[in-house]
């Protein structure tokens, strides 16, 4: 007996048609190569160019290590063995054991690929082999990744010597707490005033997860931006810093070496410095969260541990109490 179903629009759809449609979709999925599936994933799931590049490299590295086994034939054991090979250095490019954080960053794109491809509405994969893979806890090593006022002064002084643009790159990272990928995506048209025209704000349009947020621009920084705009006679539609993420990283590394700063400073250290200095000088946790663009307040709370350590600690209270006998 032929079963029919009526949709809200009044169309009569037979069971045969539904089965035929499902069969067509299945055939389409089967004829897609792994390369095509990965390309669709990167184009639809991953938003920013920087993340897309990292995801592409991580997935390609995984495929090399499993000898390009078809993605639909991969099981949790394959990903588990890959994870162990990374931890032991067998499958790492440097042939050295990788840290839990690095292993997690290489497994994350694979997990995202299978989570996406296994969704019922997408259906590229019949199962999700990544769902059972367990990762080692990632220690929070960034709590000491900040610069002192003296170190910030040395860094910015050298950048200033090199020119206004270099100085503004460093100053923007320190004052605005931006991710380096957000910095290189700023366009002049992303700046605007508040309704009362008393302050300038930056609309960060390509933040993490493709989320946008508003960051207040200090007056001193805005005046320097205007000076740069006047000196270089830039197009209002152009980027503030026509530079790549890697170039910014090299710039900060070079200046660190020139000034003899022993800490292995990266642009992200300047973001940590922004959060630490803001909390030390009276900013609320919510204000720092909004500036940095953290989705969860718990991410921002990590900085509180550093701030509390920098303030008066338990030994200081004991010293105060015993001062008269010391």
How do the residues of the chain divide into helix, strand and coil, expressed in percent and rounded to 5?
60, 5, 35
Contact 229, 219 (CB under 8 A): no
List C-alpha distances in Å: 319 to 288, 312, 314.
33, 11, 9
Check 179, 206, 256, 272 and give the catalytic one: 179
- Our answer to whether residue 303 is catalytic in this structure is yes
Check 83, 145, 271, 272 and give the catalytic one: 271
Measure the CA–CA gap between 93 and 61, rounded to whole angstroms.
9
Check 208, 216, 239, 302 and give the catalytic one: 208
What single string gives the DSSP state of each residue in 198-238? SSEEEEE-S-GGG--EEEEEPHHHHHHHHHHHHHHT--TTS
Measure the CA–CA gap between 218 and 208, rounded to whole angstroms.
23
Residue 214 bridge partners (DSSP): 203
- Our answer to whether residue 259 is catalytic in this structure is no
What single string gives the DSSP state of each residue in 136-195? ------GGG----HHHHHHHHHHHHHH-HHHHHHHHHHHHH---HHHHTT-BGGGEEE-T
Measure the CA–CA gap between 209 and 37, rounded to whole angstroms.
21
Sorted by sequence, the CB contacts under 8 Å of residue 117 that are 6+ apart come out as 37, 41, 71, 123, 124, 125
Measure the CA–CA gap between 14 and 209, rounded to whole angstroms.
42
Burial (Cβ within 10 Å: 0-12, 13-18, ≥19) of residue 124: buried
Check 160, 165, 239, 268 and give the catalytic one: 268
Do you know the residue count of the chain?
A: 326
Measure the CA–CA gap between 255 and 260, rounded to whole angstroms.
8
Check 206, 256, 272, 294 and give the catalytic one: 294
- Our answer to whether residue 294 is catalytic in this structure is yes
Give me the active site residues, please. Answer: 179, 208, 268, 271, 294, 303
């Amino acid at each position: 007996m032929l079963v029919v179903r009526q949709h809200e629009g009044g169309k009569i759809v037979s069971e045969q048609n539904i089965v035929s449609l499902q069969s067509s979709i299945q055939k389409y999925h089967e004829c897609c190569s792994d390369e095509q599936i990965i390309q669709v994933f990167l184009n639809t799931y991953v938003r920013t160019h920087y993340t897309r590049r990292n995801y592409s490299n991580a997935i390609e590295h995984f495929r090399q290590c499993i000898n390009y086994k078809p993605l639909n034939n991969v099981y949790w054991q394959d990903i588990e063995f890959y994870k162990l090979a990374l931890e032991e250095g067998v499958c790492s490019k440097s042939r050295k054991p990788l840290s839990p954080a690095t292993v997690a960053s290489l497994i994350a794109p694979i997990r995202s690929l299978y989570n996406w491809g296994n969704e019922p509405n997408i259906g590229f994969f019949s199962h999700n082999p990544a769902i059972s893979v367990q990762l080692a806890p990632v220690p929070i090593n960034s709590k000491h990744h900040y610069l002192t006022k003296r170190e910030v002064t040395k860094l910015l002084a050298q950048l200033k010597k090199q020119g206004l643009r270099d100085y503004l790159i460093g100053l923007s990272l320190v004052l605005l707490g931006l991710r380096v990928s957000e910095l290189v995506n700023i366009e002049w048209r992303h700046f605007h005033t508040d309704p009362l025209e008393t302050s300038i704000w930056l609309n960060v349009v390509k933040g993490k997860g493709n989320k946008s947020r508003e960051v207040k621009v200090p007056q001193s920084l805005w005046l320097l931006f205007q000076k740069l705009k006047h000196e270089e006679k830039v197009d209002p539609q152009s980027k503030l810093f026509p530079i790549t993420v890697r170039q910014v990283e090299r710039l900060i590394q070079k200046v660190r070496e020139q000034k003899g700063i022993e800490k292995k400073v990266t642009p992200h250290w300047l973001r940590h410095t922004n959060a630490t200095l803001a909390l030390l000088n009276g900013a609320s946790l919510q204000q720092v969260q909004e500036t940095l663009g953290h989705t969860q307040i718990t991410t921002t709370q990590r900085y509180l541990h550093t701030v509390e350590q920098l303030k008066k600690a338990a030994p200081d209270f004991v010293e105060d109490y015993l001062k008269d006998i010391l």
